[in-house]
Structure 1
């Protein structure tokens, strides 16, 4: 489960992305960045926030941007740093393009291969949980009972799709859902508004 905070965040996530997205070769857009939908994964250790935003800029296509939020810099990951934010509850947070974060790779593989789904989001209100309904759905078309351990992340190839190469698997993150067909195999599919499109896939190495 993902505990949310009613907090002031500066700069906002969308402001951060508005500066960072134009530096990506796979980005197509112009104008203000707006949120379309989002989903989260759980970090089993409870240390890293993992959120994937679907955003668009102007009349451009929807882009998938997975992010991780950390309370300290991630070693050897400067090239994946989107920026830092000041969170009124949690303090300074380092925000990474999640494809370069091994915690994201492990949770993405579990979502695709084991069908773990998205984290339930909730607020703490007067000592009780107030659940926030999801604004999109994710499903796996090929969950297995005993998915392999992915091992270490060996390489990340940025693009559309962005490829995360691990010891056991190659994970593909589709940056513009609907623009790239997922190859045959285990696929994570998203549904939002009236759209259904592949988001990511996994293939054994």
Structure 2
């Protein structure tokens, strides 16, 4: 079960994400983002080596806030060959230097998302240690069963991060299954798809 440390990070997650977002083709703002965390969840690494967090943030820099989903993988050492996915490093007050990657490029993250879609692991609370997050769900397209029915258990198919989640949103028309996460917009609890499998 995920253990959340009450400590500092330098630079912070918000600082790393804010500098990284404008370099992404799906970024809708201008200049550096000003971020507010709206919600999300975590997954456990069975080996205990990689931290995994799925963060829903709002960029409030200008006008109507833009909502983004940023999945992160935290490692205690550099992941060879994953330079393109690196947001940066941060000094964690308990764990030391952490290499922080866009989760989509991390093989442990990929494996655990598949396990979540297959129903083999449960989502963890974003902020509370050793606590499940019951509001994270896996929905399936009509006619799709769990696990093998979607091809997840066999490792087939593609996992896609939904970078601009929408409250109440589901997977695309070609998706066999999708993960929905909770967050809050304007003080109202909502849920929407953040990962899809096709």
Alignment correspondent of 2:183:
192
Q: Point out 4+ residue stretches in structure 1 off by more than 3 angstroms.
A: 120-123, 131-134
C-alpha deviations, 1:136-192, integer Å up to 9, x for none? 821012462555242xxxxxxxxxxxxxxxxx2211110001278523421111233
C-alpha deviations, 1:30-49, integer Å up to 9, x for none? 54111111210011111100
Alignment correspondent of 1:153:
none
- Structural mapping, 1:118-137, within 5 Å: 118-120=123-125, 122-123=128-129, 137=135
Please provide the CA RMSD for this pair: 2.3
Gaps of 5+ in 1: 124-130, 151-167
Question: For the Cα contact (< 8 Å) 2:170–2:192, is it kept in 1?
Answer: no
Alignment correspondent of 2:72:
67
Match for residue 82 of structure 1 among 64, 73, 87? 87
Alignment correspondent of 2:5:
5
Normalised TM-score (structure 1):
0.78
C-alpha deviations, 1:91-136, integer Å up to 9, x for none? 000000010001111111121222633125645xxxxxxx5685x8
Change (3 A) 1:181 1:122: closer
* CA distance, structure 1, for counterparts of residue 22 and residue 111 of structure 2: 27
Question: For the Cα contact (< 8 Å) 1:28–1:60, is it kept in 2?
Answer: no
* CA distance, structure 2, for counterparts of residue 7 and residue 47 of structure 1: 18
* CA distance, structure 2, for counterparts of residue 187 and residue 180 of structure 1: 7
Match for residue 34 of structure 1 among 30, 33, 36? 36
Q: Secondary structure at the match of 1:141?
A: strand
| Bigger strand fraction | 1
* CA distance, structure 2, for counterparts of residue 99 and residue 169 of structure 1: 14
Change (3 A) 1:132 1:188: closer
* CA distance, structure 2, for counterparts of residue 145 and residue 174 of structure 1: 21
Question: For the Cα contact (< 8 Å) 2:104–2:110, is it kept in 1?
Answer: yes
Normalised TM-score (structure 2):
0.80
Q: Secondary structure at the match of 2:116?
A: helix
